[in-house]
Structure formats: C-alpha cells, structure tokens
Amino acid sequence: MKFSVKTEYGLRALIDLASQATRKPVGAREIAARQDIPERFLEQQITALRKAGLVNSQRGAGGGCSLARLPEAITVLEVIEALDGPVMNMDCISQGGSDCRQSAHCVIQDLWLQSQLKLREYLGSVSIGDLVSRQGEKAGAGLTYTL
Amino acid sequence: MKFSVKTEYGLRALIDLASQATRKPVGAREIAARQDIPERFLEQQITALRKAGLVNSQRGAGGGCSLARLPEAITVLEVIEALDGPVMNMDCISQGGSDCRQSAHCVIQDLWLQSQLKLREYLGSVSIGDLVSRQGEKAGAGLTYTL
DNA sequence: CATAAATCCGACCGACTAGCTAGGAATTGA
DNA sequence: TCAATTCCTAGCTAGTCGGTCGGATTTATG
C-alpha cells in the first residue's frame, strides 16, 4: 500500500520542469542530474508521461521535454496514474477481475471504492503548480532562518 | 497502490465472527469454509490479528477464535495495518528510511503525509460493526427484491 | 491416559513486480 | 556527417504476494 518511486521521480521531474524559466525543451539527462535520479530510468518515466499527454518531447540534438500544459492544469493524480496505473485498483473492483464472490452486495467492495474515491479526490485537488509554489514558500522560509 | 488480499480475508473473517450469534470460539477452518478462503492461509492472518490484539484465540480441541472487542470498537484501519503493515508508508516518510534528499523542505513528503492522513482518517472511521450492519441492510434489500 | 481437534511456528515455493541497466534504432540541430 | 537526444525493447536482481506444508503444542473429551 504505497506509491512507487516512479511517481516520486515523475513528480520531481515535472516540478523541475515547471520551475525552469526557459521555454526551451529540457533534456532528461539534465533533469536527472539536477534531481539526482538514475538517468535512463527517468527517461522511461518521461516517455510514460508523454504518452499520458502530460509533457511534450522533442527528439534529436537540442531536444528534450517540456510541460504539455500549465503547471496548474496538471494534477498529482494524473501523474501517479500515468506512472503507476490506477490508484487503489483492487482486483475486487477492477471490472475485468474475478468478481467479488459476494458480487452485488459486498460491503468490502464498497469500502475499497470509498477509499479510492477519497484518495483520488485529494490527489486530484493538488496540481504541479501547487507543489511549485509550496516549494517556493518553504525555500523562502528557509532563507529567513539562515539570515 | 492497492491493498492485499490478506486484508480482504481478514476483514471477511472478522465480519463473519461478528455475525455469529454464538459466544463460543469459532475455528479458522469453519470460517475459511464459509468464506471460501484457503484454510491454512487464513490461519496465518488470524494469528496476525491475534498478535495485534484484535481477536482472542483458544488452542486445542473445541478451540478457535473470537473478537477481542465489540465489532464497533475495531476499525478497518486497525485490521489493515495488522495484516499489511502501515498504510501508505513511503520510504520517504518512514523515519528509518534514507531520508528525502530534499530533507526538510520536501513538498512531496508533505504530499505523501497528507494522502496518508486522509486515507487513515477514512479507514479509521469505519468499524467492523459498520460493515456488519451495512451487510445486513444490503441483504435485507436483496430480500425485498426476491419477494 | 489416549486421541482428535485445533492453534501456532517457521520453512518453502512459484509467480509476479519494482527498480534499474543496457543496447541500439530513430530523429534532429549544427 | 556527427553528436545529442528521445524512443523502444529486453533483461536482470532483489523482494513481495499468495499460498502450501510439516510438524510442534495445547486442550477438551472419551
């Protein structure tokens, strides 16, 4: 019952991208170095993010990737589901799976669905933009201490 | 990002126990048969539930297990954490782990902590007693259809 | 006391996943 | 042409998940 590091890497990469002033595409190599993430691994996650329509990427020399939307328009939920698949997707509630034996009136199925709903609701309410600005606040607060 | 079947089995077993009128201990074998759960596997989960203080068990002939508290006093969260360990326990936020590189001001760590909080809050608000009564309602509704 | 019934303990096992590494094809700016 | 970069696919290692099993221990009952 935990999120994978893929999602952490993905979020960090998107935050990094959103924090860059430049409009030019940024290379995976560069992000990986800055965020201390295994390069070839991050590459794969970025590809997944592209397939999910969250980033654009340009191949070839001078290529790289950039956000496909405004940071405020990309939710954490989207990132997680792009990299980890559906959140809290128990076999019991995934339509394809071998249905609950209790089928129609299974209270546990309801419990899972409610949990899923709560979690998705929260994760869907936080955007990359939010994370960036929170990070800004924290960094600011940190500076006041060091003064 | 999903709950294991252990937790499903555990919940089903506790619901089963709570639904039994008898005060006598019920054997794992019996529950397993009724709930269609692999017997020896359920046995292990029941042992875990005992270690967590959620059920009492009596060994020997005529032995079995029974709820250690009223169904209303056992939350779903307790059951899940007894069988699956801490909910949403990312390395990032588990104290022992190799701390977040961003350490103090990591927005992702906050995000995980908030998610964890929301989920635990909900799961902690539902008791075995709730599940039993919901099941009763559903069964009742089902009956009216068959009339 | 003997026996059957039950929990308890720990080892094991096959399938799957997570986190990564690697090779190389395809694309593109200089 | 060449170097940089993404893209695609395969693989690899360590760990987890769902489950089985043998057998030790406890206990009511005949």
Contact at 8 Å (CB) between B75 and B56? no
CA dist A73 and A65 (Å) reads 17
* Mean pLDDT within B76-91: 95
* Mean pLDDT within B41-57: 98
pLDDT at B65: 97
- CB of A15 within 8 Å of a chain B CB? The answer is yes
Buried b / exposed e along B63-98 (16+ C-beta atoms within 10 A): ebbbbeeebeebbbbbbbbbbbeebbbbebbeeeee
Q: Residue B145 above 70 pLDDT?
A: no
pLDDT at B99: 54
> Given 3-state DSSP classes, what are the helix, strand and coil percentages for chain B, each rounded to the nearest 5?
60, 5, 35
Q: Which residues of A touch B108 (CB under 8 A)?
A: 8, 11-12, 131
* B141 band by pLDDT with thresholds 50, 70 and 90: low
- Return residues with beta carbons within 7 A of strand D: A 27-29, 40, 43-44, 46-47, 50-51, 57-65; B 4-6, 9, 38-41, 44, 58-63, 84
pLDDT at B147: 46
Q: Which residues of B touch A5 (CB under 8 A)?
A: 91
Interface touch A3/B112, C-beta < 8 Å: yes
Q: Indicate if CB(B43) is under 7 A from strand C.
A: yes
* Mean pLDDT within B99-122: 84
pLDDT: which is higher, A123 or B94? A123
Give the residue ranges of chain A where pLDDT is below 70: 95-105, 141-147
Task: Tell me the three-class secondary structure of B6-47, residue by residue.
Answer: HHHHHHHHHHHHHHCCCCCCECHHHHHHHHCCCHHHHHHHHH
- pTM to 2 decimals? 0.91
Residue A56: enclosing H or E segment and its boundaries? strand A55-58
Q: What 3-state class would DSSP assign to A87?
A: coil
pLDDT at A98: 47
* B97 band by pLDDT with thresholds 50, 70 and 90: very low
pLDDT at B137: 84
Q: Residue B127 above 70 pLDDT?
A: yes
pLDDT at B84: 97
CA torsion sign, B72 to B132 to B9 to B46? positive
Give the residue from chain B lying closest to A102, CA to CA. Answer: B35
- CA distance to partner chain A, nearest, from residue B61 (Å): 31
* Mean pLDDT within B123-138: 94
Interface touch A112/B12, C-beta < 8 Å: no
Chain B residues 77 to 106 with C-beta below 7 Å from nucleic strand C: none
Q: List beta partners, residue A57.
A: A65
Percent of chain B's residues with pLDDT above 90: 78
